[in-house]
Structure 1
Amino acid sequence: MKTLKKLGIWMDHSNANLIEFSDEVKPTRTISADFDNRDMEETLQRSENEMHNKQQHKQGSYYKDLAAEIRNFNEVLLFGPTSAKAELLNFLRKDHRFADIKIELHNADKMTDKQQHAFVRDHFKRFEIKTL
């Protein structure tokens, strides 16, 4: 029987915490978007249109980085307080390489690292098949 690789991602538009579900405890990895408030202020002074273009480009890079991680898993849980998880899901659905990966979305408030790990553990344990 093949072991399924499972990943939980707590995310908003600027940071994503990747939490691998496994028998051994693994540290949380973080991927951050490169676009910050300083970038926004600098480009906004020049042009609002330029700011939106730069922000979309940086957001696309952020989603590509997350997609590269997700490709290594069979099941993925996207959760967090913003619409970023739905935007990422739409981004992934455009690529046929993600068709066989089960991806679920859940709304969640801001959480501590421990709360994020517990959320991922509880989610995947709930659907685990018990063998006797």
Structure 2
Amino acid sequence: MSNVAFKQVGVWIDHGKAHLIGFHKGKAEWIETIDSPYESIKRVDGEVKDMTRFSQNPEHASNNEYKRHNISQNEINEYLRLMEQKLQPYDDILLFGPGTMKEKMRNRLRDNKAFSGKWLSVETSDKLTENQLLAFVRDFYVKATP
């Protein structure tokens, strides 16, 4: 990583991690990778089955599902808050990746007044290698600049 102060950044984001790639003077450069605190499948020690004590039927679920949902929503909010802090210094932000996390991030940034004057763009992409990530960001910003 060089000491270039990037103003344009590409962020490949999904529920597991985010890759920040800076763009400056026609070159894309790796900035950092941020791991998400979100875990899609987890087992809490001492947790019981998702059934009520009166029925073995899984349709009669306990409140474990409610607790798990709240925990996962809190983890996603923590992840988005961390990403907001990381994206604060950039003027042009490209969010791309598979799934819905890029839209969640865009909506959160639009609601934040600190990002009101910044340029946001969302693109869909698959999982990419490091070289493909760099090429995706470089190609996007080269096409976007007149």
TM score, norm. by length of structure 1: 0.85
Residue 127 (structure 1) shift: 1.7
Alignment of 1:116-131 (within 5 A): 116-129=133-146
Match in the other structure for 2:98: 81
Contact in 1 for aligned 2:21/2:30 (Cα 8 Å): yes
Residue 119 (structure 1) shift: 0.2
The whole-number CA distance in structure 2 between the counterparts of 1:42 and 1:28 is 34
The whole-number CA distance in structure 1 between the counterparts of 2:77 and 2:89 is 19
In the comparison of the two structures, how many residue pairs are matched?
125
3-state DSSP class of the match of 1:93?
helix
Contact in 2 for aligned 1:74/1:102 (Cα 8 Å): yes
Read off the aligned partner of 1:112 and give its amino acid letter: T
Specify which structure has the higher proportion of helix.
Answer: 1
The whole-number CA distance in structure 2 between the counterparts of 1:74 and 1:25 is 16
3-state DSSP class of the match of 2:44?
helix
Q: Unaligned 5+ residue runs, structure 2? A: 49-63
The whole-number CA distance in structure 2 between the counterparts of 1:104 and 1:27 is 19
3-state DSSP class of the match of 1:82?
coil
TM score, norm. by length of structure 2: 0.78
Which ranges of 4 or more aligned residues in structure 1 deviate by more than 6 Å? Answer: none
Pair 1:99-2:99 in alignment? no
Match of 2:88 among 71, 78, 81: 71
Q: Which has the larger radius of gyration?
A: 2
The whole-number CA distance in structure 2 between the counterparts of 1:22 and 1:89 is 22
Residue 28 (structure 1) shift: 3.8
The whole-number CA distance in structure 2 between the counterparts of 1:4 and 1:85 is 21
Residue 25 (structure 1) shift: 6.0
The whole-number CA distance in structure 1 between the counterparts of 2:73 and 2:110 is 18
Cα RMSD of the aligned pairs, angstroms, is 2.0
Residue 27 (structure 1) shift: 3.0
Residue 37 (structure 1) shift: 4.5
3-state DSSP class of the match of 1:27?
strand
3-state DSSP class of the match of 2:136?
helix
Identity fraction in percent: 28
Match in the other structure for 1:42: 44
The whole-number CA distance in structure 1 between the counterparts of 2:40 and 2:138 is 33
The whole-number CA distance in structure 2 between the counterparts of 1:52 and 1:115 is 34
Read off the aligned partner of 1:27 and give its amino acid letter: W
